[in-house]
Amino acid sequence: MAEERSRHSLLLVHAHPDDETLTTGGTIARYAAAGYDVTVVTCTLGEEGEIIPPALAQLGAADADQLGGYRHGELMAACAALGVRQHRYLGGIGRWRDSGMAGTPSTKHPRAFVGGSVDEQASQLRAVLDELRPRVVVGYDSYGGYGHPDHIRAHEITMAAAPGADSVDRVFHTIAPSGPVRRELARLREADDVPFRVPYDDELPVVPDEWVTTEVDIAGHGDAKLRALDAHATQVTVARGGRPCFALSNGAALPHLDTEYFELVHGPSTGCERDLFGGLS
């Protein structure tokens, strides 16, 4: 049964609740709607996240320190909106804690993700891979998308565990190419209904367009992605206007694109230009 399931099985490794939706929500929704088995592995509960709604401020690490449990509920709601078949926490729920940004005291917490053993964490991920036997795995690039220590660690353990797993044919990094991001930012600047500050081109972390090997069309699944973003209300504010967009706690608009972009880093490239599974027999 596991062998049969692996033929159309996708697994994504993300650092915190909301990351799965921010960078790969449309892709998750597309493949889930097509009947693929989609699993999200989340490495931490996101305990150090900045909280947007003032009414929830005291959930934070400096006060009640209950944000992680609250974000678990948000994550489950987002997964339901996206159609996720299975979810796992790396090492079990609560094993690893959000490390916070580099140089902050939270990186020294006894359970901080970045303070743990890479070998142990890779072994925990490998156990999930061996159990569920996905053919395609998605993670982050070596910069973790924007330099967060937990994202970089998630990249390290994904690359330590996934390429050598028996079932895995391809490993991708989720990336944000410069051209599409800058074009959508320009459109947002021209719109008159954007409630957020539209950042300058050089404010958002992007990669060269030529890194893109795979473009996944998510136009038919944008609503599912926006509903999942709504579920992450402690971290994300969604604006549905003429040009939908969203913002994190810094209030800077992030574009809602009709395509999600990936770089193939392991496995055969034939057929993968528009489909993570394209060309796999």
Q: Render pLDDT for 132-178 as a digit per residue (tens, 0 to 9).
A: 999 999 999 999 999 999 999 999 999 999 999 999 999 999 999 99
Q: Report pLDDT for 246.
A: 98
pLDDT bucket at 3, cuts 50 / 70 / 90: very low
- The set of residues, in sequence order, having a beta carbon less than 8 Å from that of 58 and lying 6+ positions away, is 64
pLDDT tens, residue by residue, 26-65 = 999 999 999 999 999 999 999 999 999 999 999 999 999 9
Q: CA angle, 27 as apex, 25 and 33 as ends, to 5°?
A: 100
Percent of the chain whose pLDDT exceeds 70: 98
Contact predicate 62/75, CB 8 Å: no
Rounded CA gap, 35 and 58, in Å?
40
Q: Is 68 helix (H, G, I), strand (E, B) or coil?
A: helix
pLDDT bucket at 6, cuts 50 / 70 / 90: low
153 HSE (CA, 13 A, CB side):
29
Buried b (16+ CB within 10 A) or exposed e, 7-30: ebbbbbbbbbbbbbbbbbbbbbbb
Contact predicate 105/97, CB 8 Å: no
Look at the block and give the residue holding tokens 């021209």: 190
DSSP strands (E only) in 176-236: 214-217
Environment class of 102 (CB within 10 Å of its CB; exposed 0-12, middle 13-18, buried 19+): exposed
pLDDT bucket at 111, cuts 50 / 70 / 90: very high
The residue that leads in pLDDT, 157 or 241, is: 157
pLDDT bucket at 242, cuts 50 / 70 / 90: confident
Q: Do β-strands 9-14 and 37-42 pair in parallel, antiparallel, or remain unpaired?
A: parallel
Rounded CA gap, 256 and 167, in Å?
33
Per-chain mean pLDDT for the chain: 96
44 HSE (CA, 13 A, CB side):
27
Between the CA of residue 85 and those of 11, 29, 177, 216, 248, what are the distances in Å? 10, 11, 29, 20, 27
- CATH of the domain spanning 2-176+208-224+258-266: 3.40.50.10320
Contact predicate 218/268, CB 8 Å: no
pLDDT bucket at 2, cuts 50 / 70 / 90: very low
Tokens (6 digits) for 137: 């795995």
Rounded CA gap, 45 and 250, in Å?
20
Percent of the chain whose pLDDT exceeds 90: 94
End-to-end CA distance of the chain, in Å? Answer: 18
Give 108's DSSP letter. Answer: G
Residue 207 reports pLDDT greater than 60 = yes
- Is the alpha carbon torsion for 156, 161, 163, 169 positive or negative? negative
Rounded CA gap, 68 and 120, in Å?
22
Contact predicate 167/138, CB 8 Å: no
